[in-house]
């Protein structure tokens, strides 16, 4: 694969920004376990990130706290860029989770470090905020990151759950953490999981 490494414009700041823009095109190559609803092919991480941006625009009214929605949109747009280097770690993969943080922190240092220092600090701070889940914006972003795979699984009749031996207790435990204090969205997630079990999409 050809990689662009030479300056493009002669302007150091613009060249660093363009190098970053070209590098993140690789996110389209990272395949996730989730499958697209309409054709059940595997989605890539760039598609996932775009979907979360749209969800933030549409669903923020259901979060119980006031939010800086633009900040949430920026956060979810960049939160998975680390997967260019670290790959997508399936959320129920305990072995993969053992070194996930180390892989992703190394990736964040390299990828965000392609940018000019001020933009690198800004994006890295957004990523760190998302990972820490200490702000309402990061908590909402994290909930969206869990909600979309639930919707994919439900509308794919539990295919990914079945393929990976995931059971209801695992799904409930993971999402209880993500949606704690999430108001109506938490209620919806409980209802969705119960319905998935009732329809046979998710084993008890």
H or E element at residue 164: none
pLDDT digits (tens, 9 = 90+) for 132-156: 999 999 999 999 999 999 999 999 9
pLDDT tens string 173-201? 999 988 988 889 999 999 999 999 999 99
Q: Give the pLDDT confidence score for residue 173 in this predicted structure.
A: 93
pLDDT on residue 92: 86
| Domain at 12-199, CATH from 3.40.50.970, 1.10.3210.10, 1.10.10.60, 1.10.3720.10 | 1.10.3210.10
44: left (phi over 0), alpha (psi -120 to 50) or beta: beta
Q: How confident is the model at residue 95 (pLDDT cuts 50, 70, 90)?
A: confident
CA–chain centroid gap for 168, Å, is: 21
- The pLDDT score that the predictor gives to residue 38 is 87
Q: Do residues 34 and 48 touch, judged by C-beta distance below 8 A?
A: yes
Give the model confidence (pLDDT) of 98-124 as tens digits: 899 999 999 999 999 999 999 999 999
| 149-178 per-residue burial string, b: 16 or more CB within 10 A, e: under 16 | bbebbbebebbbbeeeebebebbeebbeeb
**pLDDT score recorded for residue 182:** 86
Q: State the pLDDT confidence band at 1, using cuts at 50, 70 and 90.
A: very low
Domain locations in the chain as residue ranges: 12-199
116 to each of 71, 75, 156, how far by Cα in Å? 20, 18, 42
Confidence check: pLDDT of 11 > 80: no
User: Region 51-59: what's the mean pLDDT?
Assistant: 97
| 8 Å CB contact between 104 and 87 | no
In tens, the pLDDT along 66-92 reads 999 999 999 999 999 999 999 888 888
β-bridge partners, 35: 42
Higher pLDDT, 6 or 27: 27
Kindly state the helix (H) or strand (E) to which residue 175 belongs, with its residue range: helix 168-178
């Amino acid at each position: 694969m050809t990689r662009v490494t030479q300056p493009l414009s002669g302007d150091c700041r613009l060249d660093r920004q363009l190098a970053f823009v070209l590098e993140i095109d690789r996110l389209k190559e990272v395949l996730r376990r989730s499958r697209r609803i309409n054709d059940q092919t595997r989605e890539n991480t760039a598609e996932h990130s775009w979907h979360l941006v749209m969800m933030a625009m549409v669903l923020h009214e259901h979060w119980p706290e006031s939010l800086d929605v633009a900040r949430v949109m920026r956060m979810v747009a960049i939160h998975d860029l680390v997967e260019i280097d670290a790959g997508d770690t399936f959320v129920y993969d305990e072995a993969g989770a053992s070194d996930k943080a180390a892989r992703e922190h190394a990736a964040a240092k390299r990828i965000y470090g392609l940018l000019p220092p001020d933009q690198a600090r800004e994006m890295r701070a957004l990523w760190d905020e998302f990972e820490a889940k200490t702000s309402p914006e990061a908590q909402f972003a994290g909930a969206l990151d869990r909600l979309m795979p639930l919707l994919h699984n439900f509308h794919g009749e539990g295919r990914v759950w079945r393929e990976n031996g995931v059971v209801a207790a695992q799904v409930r435990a993971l999402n209880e953490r993500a949606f704690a204090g999430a108001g109506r969205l938490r209620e919806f997630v409980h209802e969705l999981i119960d319905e998935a079990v009732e329809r046979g999409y998710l084993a008890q």
